[in-house]
Amino acid sequence: MKFAILVNEGPFNHQASDSAYQFAKAALEAGHAIFRVFFYYDGVHNANMLAEPPTDDRNVVKNWSTLAEDHKVDLVVCVAAALRRGIKNDNLAPGFRISGLGQLIEAGIQADRLVTFGD
């Protein structure tokens, strides 16, 4: 099965982004494909390379970057939501790219299932 994932919450104020990451990782390990992960609303904070969680805490931003690198997962950040929250190309974590809502629409069309995490 081919999944698309929508993440609407930031990495440190809600469980949604960590759950989305765990879902993506488990899906890939089970042999499924991830067409795209789209970050919208506060979910764009998952792409901020300036985030520095304590060393004894999970680093969701780094986890997403590693997933993208290891499995060639397309991580797309909504441009309008990103700019509202100060996320630009110069502080974008590795593996992420900024684009528009058309990428979310395409993901919904191309994937067998679109799974949403967060409000």
Which positions are catalytic? 78
CA distances from 75 to 58, 105, 111 (A): 19, 14, 15
Dist CA 105 CA 91 (whole Å): 25
Strand partners, 76: 38, 97
- Could you give phi then psi for residue 28, rounded to 5 degrees? -65, -40
